[in-house]
Amino acid sequence: MANIRLYSHYWGNRRELFENLTKPSVMPSVERLIKEGHNVEFITYTEEGELIDTITEEAEKASRLDAYTAIIPPDTIFGAETLYNMFKVAENKKIMVAVPHLRVKLSAENIPVPVSNKLLPKYIKEHMHCTAQFSYDNLEDNVTHGGISIREIDKHLCIIHSVPTMYFCKFSQDDARILKNEITTWNHWDSVFLHKMTEQNRVRTIGSSLLGCMAEITGEGTHLKPLSKGQYNDSYGCVNSVNRVYNALNYVMEIPDED
């Protein structure tokens, strides 16, 4: 049976977010994993500090223990089945599982959790953050040059996300060394470290919200890049070979019918 460590680092008011939203959102998956005989434990860091330092420490510990690590940010709502599905994708493999995600407004704190993968896209669309609202590539003024573009086709959001986040990891000792010696900020997790893992053919990207879905709660007006005309995500994908890989993928978020 597998050892699965649920890593999170938070302090201040993010503790409340974690306890009220993030943790309850993953509990259905946790309970299912435990029922199947896996050992699951929450690994939380609650002192203010650099996230990259604690994830490096976690990578070192997990690699020694031959354990899996799930990254559980304190401002993120997970679809109820997502954590379990990520484990099943990674089971018995030394890989990282990445999932594209969209940001949602602070009003998303009212989303009832746990919430199924099928229903969470409905709430994501209702509480969509400005970074996602301006990522529709049919808008004359948009931010798709930042790496995310959205097209709505029938009841599906087809999303190109050039920098998907690795949420489920099987760290090696070499990974821990790279994190310690070459990765200096948390921003490098979704860039430098993602690129290194991709070059090693160790990233598997989920392509459907039914398999993996999450929403990152973000203050309104933050993280929004300057609006540009006609600079679609296609141009971002030409930055380097790794971005071209993810620029070729469509993540499909299915919006359920209204009750």
Enumerate the domain spans of the chain: 3-254
Alpha helices for the chain (secondary structure H): 14-17, 23-35, 51-65, 82-90, 120-126, 130-133, 173-182, 192-199, 233-236, 241-247
Looking at residue 84, its pLDDT comes to: 98
Q: Which position has the token pair 């940001």?
A: 103
Q: Would you tell me the crossing angle of helices 173-182 and 192-199 to the nearest 10 degrees?
A: 150
Output the six-digit token pair for 220. 């309104």
Output the six-digit token pair for 127. 């509480």
Q: Which position has the token pair 């994830």?
A: 55
Q: How far apart are CA 172 and CA 185, in angstroms?
A: 20
Q: How far apart are CA 144 and CA 242, in angstroms?
A: 18
Residue 109, Cα to own-chain centre: how many angstroms?
A: 18
For residue 192, report the phi and psi dihedrals to the nearest 5 degrees.
Answer: -60, -50
Looking at residue 245, its pLDDT comes to: 87
β 156-161/251-254 pair status: antiparallel
pTM: 0.95
Looking at residue 235, its pLDDT comes to: 67
Give the CATH number of domain 3-254; options: 3.40.50, 3.90.550, 1.10.3680, 1.10.1740. 3.90.550
Output the six-digit token pair for 171. 């760290």
| pLDDT tens sequence across 43-96 | 999 999 999 999 999 999 999 999 999 999 999 999 999 999 999 999 999 999
Q: How far apart are CA 215 and CA 233, in angstroms?
A: 21
| pLDDT tens sequence across 59-70 | 999 999 999 999
Looking at residue 231, its pLDDT comes to: 65
β 102-104/251-254 pair status: unpaired
Name residues of the chain where pLDDT drops below 70. Answer: 231, 234-239, 259
Q: How far apart are CA 146 and CA 161, in angstroms?
A: 9
Q: How many helices (H) and strands (E) does the chain have?
A: 10, 14
